[in-house]
Structure 1
Amino acid sequence: MEHDSTVYVGLDVHKESITIAYAVDAGEVEAMGKIGTTLVEIDRLCKRLQSKAPHVRVVYEAGPCGYGLYRRLIKQGFDCMVCAPSLIPKKPGERVKTDRRDAIKLARSLRAGDLSAVYVPSVEDEAFRDLARAWASARDDLRHARQRLKSFLLSHGVHYIGRADWGVSHRRWLSKYSFENAWRQLAFDEHRRTIEDRLAQCDRLEAALREAVVEWGLYPAVLALQAMRGIQFITAVGLSSELGDLSRFEHPRQLMAWLGITPSEHSSGGTRRQGGVTKAGNSYARKLLVEAAWSYRHAARVGTQIQFRHEGLPKAIIDRAWDAQVRLCKKYRKLATRGKNVNVAVVAVARELAGFIWDIGRLAMSLALPRHTVRPA
């Protein structure tokens, strides 16, 4: 075993098995077989790999099994990468796919430097993101439950005279309404009970999230992002939990590309063609960003709610948030005057909004805001 040798290892990871392939330096890629996913078997694999060469580089695809294996291999001193499955090179016309072939392809691509790594959050950031995603899922379930109830009433010709916005009067009307048929009334009661359960779940998760965010390492970024128009607590927490540490993006264009809001392009020779946005990366973060961008259709102003969120924040962050308002509101009006479709204009605003989020988030972490500065509301 040479002292400067490197073994390149590709792992095809599944719930109950891991298929391994490896290559030492420029040698032929060989299959090592299949093992289980227990800690004992993984530790035994690490010892076998260490006997091949002093330097070990490992890669496996990001998937439902999470980052536990990555952290285990890093702890063993290996250079480990979790790669993006959609960016793995593929041969045209390839029709055979097996675990063994996938592991060999990963080892070969790792050695060639053709793989793109995904961001692996810290244990704390991943735990907070799980909580934030649970809250987002509960709110989606609530929205679906409300839609099902509205569809149920519509199918039976029941109409609410007023605005069905789930306000006090609307909920009061729902609680008093009844059907003559007992079976239909039972179905109606179950729909209402589902909504009540989802509301209680959302309240529990929101309370837990507001308590946990104060102890989170990225809490200063959550506070600072709320200084911007269109970004309240829900959006700030969602974006921060999905984006993670913004310092990993060296330039705002990298964040824009990660969010999938940069134009697609197909150019050749002297012809340049640009299409719609790529929609690559995190769809939930992109959705929150575009929703926030809709608020910049109106003239720049600082309302009462934004003033409340500005309390206790450094002047540098407040000034940057105002610069974003002026620039983005002006950009939307300019695009609208040119006759651009409203959705196209909003996405263009969202792309520049990502740049301001990158700037303000990094600024907040560098200033190290006190955790008692502002309430997370």
Structure 2
Amino acid sequence: MNEITRVGVDLAKNVIQVHAVDAAGKMVTNRALSRGKFIEWCATLPARCLVAMEASSSAHYWARKLAALGLDARIIAAQLVSPYRLSGKSGKNDANDAAAVCEAASRPTMRFVPIKTISQQGMLCVHRLREGLKEERTACINRIRGLLAEFGLVIARSSKALSECLSEMIEDADNDLPGTARLVIERARSQWQEIDAHIEWCDERIAAHIKDDEQAKMATRLMGVGPVTASAVVATVGDFKQFKNGAQFGAWLGLTPRQNSSGGKNNLGSITKRGDMYLRMLLIQAAKSAVMTAHKRDDPISLWTHKLREKSGWQKAMVALANKNARILWAVMTKGQPFDARHVSVNPACTTLLVPAA
């Protein structure tokens, strides 16, 4: 075990595959371990041994456990591991995946996923539950609409409109709704109300997070960044200094254009949509409201947004503002300064040093 310098791990629910190599890159062992035996085996590894795994379910849990043992635990995004699988897509199995993770971790330019803390993952649980409840609420509303449409009762496509007239439809004796259908729709409405109560509970937890966390509180000051977005950004990223600059943060969120450039000719396409889909969606949707109301404000960002909307349309302006907000978020969080809508940045490379005359 003292010969091992790097370990690649393929995580699963019950069986964990490990691929260990020495300093020369020669395989020492490639074996499957049960969950209980995995930690015992890792405890025998040399101190500061590199143990890498894919970013998947329970990866952050295992990374924290391994770090507590004095090991150098790393997490790698799955799309960065697959190119190192020697057998390609046709040879995917646990042993080959563990070997690919081990090989990917040896690359000097490899990018690793920061390990999330327990508090970060706890807050993200609230966001995951809230998103799931929103989908359930939409399904419940559509189910009620479909049932009513079967009896010739069609309502405007708005949850507010449905909520306002639903009680009247259930109690109206002149429509064609049979007694059984009335009971079913009443039960569906109760489910809708229950889901709304659960979403309200999640919003209360998010509001408490904003109140207690200074970074989240600073993020809410940006135009187009509300409490949900601010809480999700802080809980997902944690330490913003892991990114070199705001452009790198925007690229990590998938808000930069795709490239298919060659021969000195730049060919840009739509955004890459890499990174956290939930966080990117929140930033873009939050920017939409700011774009639609930009003409009512006179600060530099709003003027730029309105001009871009008139030139390229509100969709492109919305994504551009989301990217700008991502860069501003990075600057605000790393420098610890509150957001100023009228701040004018200065490129240090363009400034000139004035030397007084002798």
TM-score (normalizing by structure 2): 0.82
**Higher relative contact order (CA closer than 8 Å, sequence separation 6+):** 1
Query: Given residue 333 of structure 1, which amino acid in structure 2 is its aligned partner?
Result: H
Between the aligned partners of 1:236 and 1:343, the Cα distance in structure 2 is 22
Q: Which runs of 5+ in 1 are unaligned?
A: 303-324, 368-377
Q: Alpha-carbon deviations, 1:225-252, whole Å to 9, x = none?
A: 2223332323322333233332322311
* DSSP 3-state at the match of 2:142: helix
Q: Alpha-carbon deviations, 1:11-57, whole Å to 9, x = none?
A: 1110001111111111422433111112xx2342124433xxx6511
Between the aligned partners of 1:359 and 1:183, the Cα distance in structure 2 is 59
- Which stretch has the larger CA shift, 94-103 or 26-35? 26-35
Aligned counterpart for 2:55 among listed residues 50, 58, 62: 62
- Report the alpha carbon displacement of residue 300 of structure 1 after superposing the two structures with TM: 5.5
Q: Alpha-carbon deviations, 1:308-354, whole Å to 9, x = none?
A: xxxxxxxxxxxxxxxxx73332233332333x243122111211121
- Report the alpha carbon displacement of residue 120 of structure 1 after superposing the two structures with TM: 1.6
**1:261 and 1:200, CA in 2 relative to 1: closer, same or farther beyond 3 A?**
same
- The aligned residue for residue 348 of structure 2 is none
- The aligned residue for residue 354 of structure 1 is 326
Does residue 345 of structure 1 match 2:317? yes
Conserved? CA contact 1:331–1:349, under 8 Å:
no
Conserved? CA contact 1:132–1:241, under 8 Å:
no
**1:204 and 1:346, CA in 2 relative to 1: closer, same or farther beyond 3 A?**
closer
- The aligned residue for residue 277 of structure 1 is 271
- Which stretch has the larger CA shift, 247-256 or 224-233? 224-233
Between the aligned partners of 1:163 and 1:93, the Cα distance in structure 2 is 49
- The aligned residue for residue 312 of structure 1 is none
Count of aligned residue pairs for this structure pair: 333
Between the aligned partners of 1:86 and 1:43, the Cα distance in structure 2 is 26
Between the aligned partners of 2:13 and 2:142, the Cα distance in structure 1 is 36
Between the aligned partners of 2:328 and 2:167, the Cα distance in structure 1 is 43
- The aligned residue for residue 116 of structure 2 is 121
Between the aligned partners of 1:35 and 1:162, the Cα distance in structure 2 is 54
- The aligned residue for residue 221 of structure 1 is 215
Aligned counterpart for 1:45 among listed residues 35, 41, 52: 41
The CA RMSD measured in Å over matched residues stands at 2.8
Q: Percent identity between the aligned chains? A: 21
Alignment of 1:2-13 (within 5 A): 7-13=5-11
Aligned counterpart for 2:188 among listed residues 186, 191, 208: 191
Does residue 85 of structure 1 match 2:78? yes
Conserved? CA contact 2:283–2:322, under 8 Å:
yes
**1:214 and 1:328, CA in 2 relative to 1: closer, same or farther beyond 3 A?**
closer
Conserved? CA contact 1:6–1:56, under 8 Å:
yes
Conserved? CA contact 2:256–2:272, under 8 Å:
yes
Between the aligned partners of 2:179 and 2:104, the Cα distance in structure 1 is 64
Conserved? CA contact 1:129–1:242, under 8 Å:
yes
Conserved? CA contact 2:120–2:236, under 8 Å:
no
TM-score (normalizing by structure 1): 0.78
Conserved? CA contact 2:8–2:101, under 8 Å:
yes
Q: Which runs of 5+ in 2 are unaligned?
A: 339-358
- Report the alpha carbon displacement of residue 260 of structure 1 after superposing the two structures with TM: 0.4
- Report the alpha carbon displacement of residue 99 of structure 1 after superposing the two structures with TM: 0.8
- The aligned residue for residue 328 of structure 1 is 301
